[in-house]
Chains A and B, each alone.
Chain A
Amino acid sequence: MPAPLPVPGDRFPSPGWVNDSLRSVGYLADEGIASVVFLADKLSKPVLVEGPAGTGKTQLAKSVAEMSGARLIRLQCYEGLDESKALYEWNYKKQLLRIQAEQVTQQGETWEQLEEDIFSEPFLLARPLLEAIRATEPVVLLIDEVDRVEVETEALLLEVLSDYQVSVPEMGTVKATQIPLVFLTSNNTRELSEALKRRCLFLHLGYPSLEREREIVLAKVPGIHQDLADQVVRVVKLVRSLELKKPPSVSETLDWARALVLLGAQRLDTDRVQGTLHVLLKYSSDIERAAQEVAAASS
């Protein structure tokens, strides 16, 4: 059964509703996140989600798609991403075949007919941006790690995101039948252009508060005891306050908590923490520093 197309600006009744729905699909948002998602729909604007790796930026887009029953279309950005990978491309192999078939069968089509034929829908390869714009069912477009593309490609994104239309010279302009919810994520390895930022709502996803992270651990790690979860997030907070090459992200907190549960830990002590820090941290210099820090009080 095709779902009714959502009217832009009418997907979500209130920020609170967004918060609850996100929770129901397993994403523990906070009020801030929920109100930005709510506004993104109301104002029909893309959301630029920025923050350190592993704080749930990509997951947010996935969860919004899941909770609103929309299809997720994902454009993974990388250095060298270009129009033919982001927008559309003609399927030239198929076009060649078509031309050759014409020569073999000698059907006597005029050139105009042939041309019209090979530059039509069946020969078009829609890449994520065009796909999202042409979609007739509800979609969420995720443009992942947008800080990896060059400035030129960013301009291309900007064009699409400001008009929600794509012009294909051979076919004409494709207009969006709906304005999709768009999420762009960035790890801030490069500064994005002012123009792009102006177009978007800005959401910074940092490390969660102690309480929220505890909640996340309790929800995502089956069988963990409340006390252990509490200790885990407090140790993680302590570790994050150090100057590290790579502070532990939420996903690493979860990995660590899972590992501790598997090891049958009931409570944490200095030795246990030092013995398992390598799950939480990825650099040996970081591990050393953190190991010193958790032992500092006892010395």
Chain B
Amino acid sequence: MSALPPATRPQGAHQLAEGLFATFSDFVEELRAAGVPVSTTEVLDATAALRQIPLEDRQALKMGLAATLVKQYSHWPAFETLFDLYFSLRAEAMATSASPGEGPGAADGEELSASQLAELAYRALMEGDPQLMAALARAAVSRFAGMEPGRSVGGTYYVFKTLRQLGTDPMLARLVASAGERGGLEGRLQEQEYRRHLEQLRSEVQAEVRRRLLAERGPQALARSLRRPLPEDMDFMHLSKEELAALQRSVQPLARKLAVHLARKRRRRRGGRLDFRATMRRSLSSGGVPAEPRFKAPHRSKPELWVLADVSGSVAAFARFTLQLVYALSSQFSRTRTWVFIDGIDEVTDMLKQAGDVGEAVQQIGSRADVVWAEGHSDYGHALVDFLGRWASELRPRATVLVLGDARNNYHAAHPWAIAELAHRARQVWWLNPEPRSYWDTGDSVLAQYGAHCTGVVECRNLRQLRHFIESLP
């Protein structure tokens, strides 16, 4: 409640049930705690929406709150998890506990044997009947999850355990194999269907586990256990494959933003052709005498960008992200050139241009780029000097150079003069480091030596920082 300004309450609450408003305030607070930016205006809008929406319509309620509070699609999963905790699951839990007798789940879980449950699971995967799945999830969680009260967990392990004991994975394998035998398109589609059913079953089980945890611990505590960083806060160094794929969608707009920022500078200068139409229009205020000539905006000159990316093992996850970014950049800037390095350095501009998609580009670079000079451990000094010798003469004074890496040099000679030389030739040189600031210049990191010659050194551990860097570009 403390997160809401006092003005919200009298304005929004008078027509809302007290309980709903309290839930809503807690919900917003939790949403903010998860990192979703929710402004006061948006809270007011959501309160107004709550008054207009038929509350018994869960879906309308969900969409109403989402439309007013969540303005970025990548925040949707965080919203959905919290909405379920605060509105859907809780309402259902209340409904269940209000019904006479024991909860239905507890009862039929005891009656069915493990083999009966497995048989039900098999049928559920075959048919995908939602009611069967819900009932099965209740029974299976009672029997298999072994939930221990009083532990502050999010329930992922319970879900895993339940499905494991039900034996859904081998079941799916059998079903897929039988679909494969049938062959042809229908077999392939059938396989997809089974996988979808398993996914449904998993989310039913997850909902059931959460429902029980919710009854025990309340939404706030559970929300805290379930909290995950938003996509823009995920650390580049520790991205899983799935997370990396999820970030990919956000990279394209960022690349474009970078293009716009680098290009804008030049557009401000005057010097386009005479805009006759605008001049005539302007001349009317001086009685038809074209006293003040107007000019067309000059053509946007294409910004030139040179990217040097460390692809060594110590920044492997970051390097994969980097290549995604560079790939997106090369579609935005026709004049992007890219080099990758470990202790040797190689230009990969053409590989990126020819690759059909990011995955292919990464693979191509992995197998074809010649980046190992001596031993395959990072040697910034050698790579930079090599770079300077082979390509620096092509560097034009209006180019921007981005160096992406952790500056961990394995105690080789750093040769910081190479960066100084680059900085001298280019418009600006930025160093983006995926390591936390506190690690800089510890151990074999020689960032300070390079940083002294750069336009700036920026900590770049997640999308949010990358976006901030791009927006702050002069």
List chain A positions with a Cβ less than 8 A from chain B. 14-15, 31-36, 38-39, 42-43, 45, 47-48, 50, 80, 89-90, 92, 95-96, 99, 118, 150-151, 188-191, 194, 197-198, 200-204, 231, 234-235, 237-238, 241, 243-245, 268-270, 273, 283, 285, 293-298
Q: Is B148 an interface residue (CB 8 A)?
A: no
Docked complex Cα distance between A50 and B183 (Å): 39
Scan B30-45; emit 1 where CB is below 8 A from any A CB, else 0: 0000000101011001
In the assembled complex, which residues on chain A have CB atoms less than 8 Å from the CB atom of B359? 243
Q: CB distance A31 to B187 under 8 Å?
A: no
Expressed in whole angstroms, the Cα–Cα distance for A50 and B74 within the complex equals: 12
Determine the distance from Cα of A235 to Cα of B185 in the docked complex, in whole angstroms: 9
User: B41 contacts A39, CB within 8 Å?
Assistant: no
**Contact yes or no, A90 B284, CB < 8 A:** yes
Given contacts A237-B192, A297-B188, A298-B183, contact A118 B253 (CB under 8 A): no
Partner of B284 from A15, A96, A197 at Cβ < 8 Å = A96
Contact with A along B75-112 (1 / 0, CB 8 A): 01000000000000000000000000000000000000
In angstroms, Cα B312 to Cα A5, docked, is 66
- Judge whether B149 is part of the interface by a CB distance below 8 angstroms: no
Looking across the interface, which residue of chain A has its beta carbon closest to that of B467?
A191
A90 to B285, CA, bound (A): 11
Nearest chain A CB to B366 CB, angstrom units: 17
B184 engages A270 (CB within 8 Å)? yes
Task: Kindly state the separation between the CA atoms of A14 and B48 in the bound complex, as whole angstroms.
Answer: 15
B231 contacts chain A at the CB level, 8 A cutoff: no
What's the Cα separation between A31 and B192 when bound, in Å? 26
> Are B357 and A245 closer than 8 Å at their CB atoms?
yes
Closest B residue to A188 using CB positions: B253
Selected contact of A238 from candidates B41, B188, B277, CB within 8 Å? B188
CB pair A190 B256 closer than 8 Å:
yes
CA distance A92 to B290 in the complex (A): 13
Q: Which residues of A contact B70 (CB under 8 A)?
A: 202
14 examples of A-B residue contacts, CB within 8 angstroms: A31-B57, A39-B64, A43-B48, A48-B71, A92-B281, A99-B288, A188-B73, A189-B253, A197-B71, A238-B192, A285-B357, A297-B182, A297-B187, A298-B187
Known contacts A92-B281, A238-B189, A297-B188: does B63 contact A80 (CB below 8 Å)? no
Q: How far is the CA of A202 from the CA of B126 in the complex (A)?
A: 37
Bound Cα distance from A298 to B67, whole angstroms: 44
In the complex, chain B residues whose CB is within 8 Å of the CB of A202: 66-68, 70-72
- Contact of A294 with B185 in the complex, beta carbons under 8 Å: yes
Closest to B253 in A: A191
The 8 A CB mask of B256-290 against A (1 = contact, 0 = none) is 11001000000000000000010011001001100
Chain B contacts for A47, CB-based, 8 A = 67
Residues of B within 8 A of A118 (CB): 284
Category for how many chain B residues contact A = 35 or more
* CB proximity of A83 to chain B, nearest CB, Å: 11
- Among B52, B191, B297, the residue within 8 A (CB) of A43 is B52
B54: CB under 8 A from chain A? Answer: yes
Chain B residue with minimal CB distance to A272?
A: B185
Nearest CB in chain A to that of B69: its residue = A202
Of B39, B68, B76, B182, which is in contact with the most chain A CB atoms at under 10 Å from its CB? B68
Nearest-CB residue, chain B, relative to A238: B192
Q: How many A-B residue pairs have CB under 8 A?
A: 145
Determine how close the nearest CB of chain B comes to the CB of A127; give it in whole angstroms: 14
Q: Is B60 an interface residue (CB 8 A)?
A: yes
Q: Which residues of A contact B357 (CB under 8 A)?
A: 243-245, 285
Chain B residues, Cβ within 8 Å of A190: 253, 256-257, 260
A211-B189 Cα distance, complex, nearest whole Å: 15
Q: Which residues of A contact B189 (CB under 8 A)?
A: 231, 234-235, 238
User: Which of A35, A203, A293 neighbours the largest number of chain B CB atoms within 10 Å of its CB?
Assistant: A35
- Residues of A within 8 Å of B66, CB to CB, are 202
The answer on a CB contact under 8 Å between B59 and A32 is yes
Q: Is B180 an interface residue (CB 8 A)?
A: yes
* B45 contacts A45, C-beta separation under 8 Å: yes
B171 at the A interface (CB under 8 A): no
For A189, give its contact among B64, B68, B256 (CB under 8 Å): B256
Which residues from A are CB-within-8-Å of B63? 31-33, 35-36
What CA separation (Å) do A203 and B49 show in the bound complex?
A: 14
CB distance from A231 to the nearest CB of B (A): 7
Measured CA separation A235–B189 after assembly (Å): 7
Additional pairs, 7, CB under 8 Å, beyond known A200-B71, A203-B67: A31-B59, A39-B68, A48-B71, A96-B280, A99-B288, A202-B70, A294-B188
Nearest to A15 among chain B residues (CB) is B60
Chain B residues with CB below 8 A from A268, complex form: 185
CB pair B64–A89 under 8 Å, yes or no, is no
Closest to A286 in B: B356
Known: A190-B257, A191-B253, A238-B189. Contact between A36 and B356, CB under 8 A?
no
Closest A residue to B195 by beta carbon equals: A241
Q: How far is the CA of A48 from the CA of B48 in the complex (A)?
A: 18
Question: What residues on A are CB-neighbors of B73 within 8 Å?
Answer: 50, 188, 204
B252 within 8 A of A: yes
In the bound complex, how far is the Cα of B186 from the Cα of A296, in angstroms?
Answer: 11
The 3 closest A-B pairs by CB, nearest first: A297-B188, A35-B60, A197-B71
Query: B188 touching A35 by the CB < 8 A rule?
Result: no
Complex: A47 Cα to B72 Cα, angstroms: 13
For residue B5, give the distance in angstroms from its CB to the closest CB of chain A. 16
B179 part of interface (Cβ distance < 8 Å): yes
Contacts of A33 in B (CB 8 A): 63
Residues from chain B with Cβ under 8 Å of A45 in the complex: 45
Closest to A51 in B: B73
Minimum CB–CB distance from B469 to chain A (whole Å) comes to 14
Q: Are A189 and B252 in contact (CB under 8 A)?
A: yes
Say if the beta carbon of B226 comes within 8 Å of chain A: no
Distance in angstroms between the alpha carbons of A118 and B179 in the assembled complex: 77
Q: Shortest Cβ distance from B59 into chain A, in angstroms?
A: 4
CB distance from A51 to the nearest CB of B (A): 8
| B187 lies within 8 A of A15 (CB) | no
Residues of B within 8 A of A198 (CB): 39, 41-42, 71
